[in-house]
Amino acid sequence: MDLHLNGKTALVTGASRGIGLAVARALAAEGARVVAAARKPTPELEAAGVTPVAVDLTDPAGAERLMAEAVTELGGLDILVNNVGGGDSDVTGGFLALTDDRWAQMMDLNFFTGVRVTRAALPALLATRGAIVNVSSISARVPHGGPVAYAAAKAALTAFGKALAEEFGPRGVRVNTVSPGPVRTALWESPAGYGAGLAAAMGVPHTELLAGLPKSMGMLIDRLVEPDEVAALVAYLASPLAAATTGADHLVDGGAVKTA
């Protein structure tokens, strides 16, 4: 399907791997010119046909610097994908293990980075009547026992997207959210990721936890979600084909969330 993105300009954050890398690739494959931001650009990102920018978006000055580079490279901006997030690989100890500093770090990475980048990008997006897609999580809708700070930050991001849609929809900027379930990324599969830490905390082999994860999460498919499946929805929502879609939160979770 042609998403009519040829020649459009896009900025994707958190693009070094996983969902962000898949989104950058998907947009580029549709003909968009993409600036892809990451703390440390990976060889995979370098080879994706995009313009990588190394930036730490937890630095309050990072968003303005990123936008300056993106606008210089692209000449304007049609699409912003706020994907940067994570940091939950070491929070399997539950609520009482989280210090104020760790709460602040999780909120900064998963929520305030999106706030800052959006603030910096909105003048350019208003000029093009562009689109924003925020990547949240089903944890925002169905928080589990952990990681609680991650779930709270993603819930804030989801609410942020709806509020932006209300304010800027009448001015031509569409804002939508994509909330994935468990995705086959390093978060779950890496020996140093959240999945491995959770398996250790539960006293089960990592491979056993991954094999049983779809069922334990209530998914109606027998596998994890693929990054490309999330990226396909992000690209569609960013495209003119979704011109009547705004203020929505779309699940890509294999049926894990049972409520509307």
Helix (H, G, I), strand (E, B) or coil at 60: coil
- What does the alpha-carbon distance between residue 110 and residue 137 come to, in Å, rounded to a whole number? 10
* Active-site residue, selected from the candidate residues 111, 150, 160, 236: 150
Is residue 87 within 8 Å of residue 14, measured between CB atoms? Answer: no
Indicate the length of the chain as a whole number. 260
Q: Report, in this order, helix, strand and coil percent for the chain, each rounded to 5.
A: 50, 15, 35
The continuous run of DSSP H or E covering 9 comes out as: strand 9-12
Looking up tokens 């809708």 gives 141
- What does the alpha-carbon distance between residue 8 and residue 48 come to, in Å, rounded to a whole number? 17
| Residue from 87, 58, 40, 257 nearest 187 by CA | 87
Is residue 180 within 8 Å of residue 134, measured between CB atoms? Answer: no
| Residue from 40, 117, 111 nearest 71 by CA | 117
Bridge partners (DSSP) of residue 37 are: 53
| Residue from 85, 67, 59, 60 nearest 9 by CA | 67
Cis-peptide into 147, omega within 30 deg: yes
Is residue 224 within 8 Å of residue 213, measured between CB atoms? Answer: yes
- What does the alpha-carbon distance between residue 74 and residue 25 come to, in Å, rounded to a whole number? 17
* Residue 194 annotated in active site: no
State the catalytic residues.
Answer: 150
